A and B are shown apart, each in its own frame.
Chain A
Amino acid sequence: MNENMLSLQGVHTHIGAYHILHGVDLTVPRGKLTMLLGRNGAGKTTTLRTIMGLWHASQGRITFNGQDITQLATPQIASMNVAYVPENMGIFSDLSVKENMLLAARWARNAGQIDAERLKWIFTLFPAVQTFWNHPAGKLSGGQKQMLAVARAIVEPRELLIIDEPSKGLAPAIINNMIDAFGQLKASGVTILLVEQNFNFAKRLGDTVAVMDNGVIVHAGSMKELAEDEALQHSLLGLAI
């Protein structure tokens, strides 16, 4: 089996008249947590959306487990056990927490059919999901919504989790909870691609890292190496990570 679960080769993406990605080359190793860093507007979110088929690459190739997914529709990509948590979390505010979870459990027709063992595990990762099970998701706090978004993404076993800025706008205590939860997810063997701007968050979790600027990857390597190499950090921090 290929060591890299996900691979982007020379991916360009246009949104209307705007050329956003200018040839992105990125690999996500199997079973690892890959951090995608970069300043605002560098193209991180566009990269994730292009992987998910929400915007299609105008040039280049994206492969998942060796299969070309460049032009596949979003539902087809999601059906390959790829879960995506967008920057805005994508919570259905008018639905309850339970209904949000039920939607992500594609083969369950009601909440009783969600894998009970897995749900129990999710409740230990994110207790708020259990506490507010029957409450409207729109009334959760920002941190609780983020927990629900990630909980929803893992309600069924996934091969790849793609998460866009999970620490954005969260209080430090909640960020620590998220780091613990991601740590446990990593330990469960799932492959994660995580966009982040918070370098402290990134260096505590990341196995590998890629840094973007102006729609291209300007650095790729191990997170440990970046965390220990101040000169490299400075040169990349010059890009305002």
Chain B
Amino acid sequence: MNKIDFDWKPLALVPVLALLVLPFIGSGSTWVTLTVAGLAMGMIIFIIASGLTLVFGLMDVLNFGHGVFIALGAFVATSVLGAMGDYTASASLWRNMMAVLPAMVVAMLVAGAVGVAFERFIVRPVYGNHLKQILITMGGMIIGEELIKVIWGPLQIPLPLPEGMRGSIFLGDAGVEKYRVIAVVVGLLVFGILLWVLTRTKIGLLIRAGVQDREMVESLGYRIKVLFVGVFVVGSALAGLGGVMWGLYQQSVIPQMGAQVNILIFIVLIIGGLGSTTGALIGALLVGLMANYTGFLVPKAALFSNIALMMAILLWRPQGVYALSR
């Protein structure tokens, strides 16, 4: 018997996919640009999906309303960044960060606070009933979208990148947008913090145990519902952060943006294995890369390609790449 072994095979899928498409793309510099764009997109999706996968894993709750927190985060960012024009107009990355960081913090706080109410009034009454969960959380998202329209209006709002985050850096001939590098760094930071909490703290241990067998965690004397509320709120806050990142990535926000991203999130969760944080990262990176490669090679197949990817993964590992023992 071995000590805890990490299963590296799913992690290898990311470089394997990247290398497989290289001959089809032809140009090395284009491949680098697309790969960095894919990784950046994947990291943003991971930030959004990481909380949702734990919510499902811990309480078996299918929250189709997760998208509302994405949109909320993005719209809050438009207000915060809009009020800090002096900082966003500066060419200094540090001054830009002094606007973007508060926008992220406020977006996370607002999304987290709304998450408390969403859990209490929408999710809690439907524990244990998947059909009701799907219906009521989708309804919650629609209401959320309408409330966003009431506050910020129904139209698309531009969310331009701060001046210092615009433009590209060059790796040889390959141009890589600065913001995509920032997105990768933020994504890695979120993953690192989540991994640290999950593997090095008692709370993380409880979450991992709760994902496997919540009844046993309760039998050990822990209130899993309190833990779940905490995870739900953190998941909502991360979706808010992801919304800021996604909005800046798209450079505009619309009230329906959460619903648009929802489908990608669920593909990511299914690929990764419901409840697995590392699985969500792998799934998000694969989806991000696939979307960018097919967007370049066969634009009309962009969405289908991710569904095909999900089907291929499920044929290999029906429970997702990092299926949890239950």
Q: CB within 8 Å of B: which residues of A?
A: 52, 54, 73-75, 78-79, 84, 86, 90, 92-96, 99, 102-104, 106, 108-110, 132, 134-136, 138-140
Contact = CB atoms under 8 A, between A and B. Distances in A.
A135 B5 CA distance: 9
A79 B220 CA distance: 8
Given A93-B212, A94-B208, A138-B325, A103 B1 contact: no
B311 interface: no
B205 interface: yes
A92 B2 contact: no
Contacts of A74: 215, 218-219
Greatest chain A CB density within 10 A among B201, B208, B218, B324 is at B218
Most buried by B among A103, A106, A135: A103
Interface string B215-227: 1111111111000
A109 B217 CA distance: 16
B126 interface: no
Contact of A79 (B213, B215, B221): B221
B300 interface: no
B4 A136 contact: yes
Given A134-B4, A135-B2, A138-B325, A75 B221 contact: yes
B325 A93 contact: yes
A94 B208 CA distance: 8
Interface string B132-145: 00000000000000
A52 B205 contact: no
A112 B224 CA distance: 24
A106 B203 CA distance: 11
Nearest to A139: B1
Name, among B202, B209, B215, B219, the residue most crowded by chain A CB atoms within 10 Å (CB to CB). B219
B206 interface: yes
Contacts of B218: 54, 73-75, 78
Nearest to A113: B202
B213 A92 contact: yes
A102 B219 contact: no
B209 A92 contact: yes
B230 to A, nearest CB: 15
A189 B218 CA distance: 25
A78 B221 CA distance: 5
A159 to B, nearest CB: 13
Interface in B176-225: 201-202, 205-206, 208-209, 212-213, 215-224
A99 B325 contact: no
B220 A78 contact: yes
Q: Lowest 6 CB-CB distances: which A-B pairs, in order?
A: A78-B221, A90-B216, A93-B325, A74-B218, A92-B209, A84-B219
A103 B217 contact: yes
Contacts of B213: 90, 92
B9 interface: no
A92 B326 CA distance: 8
Contacts of A138: 325
A54 B4 contact: no
A106 B221 CA distance: 8
Contact of B219 (A78, A95, A96, A135): A78
6 contacts: A54-B215, A74-B215, A86-B219, A92-B213, A96-B3, A110-B202
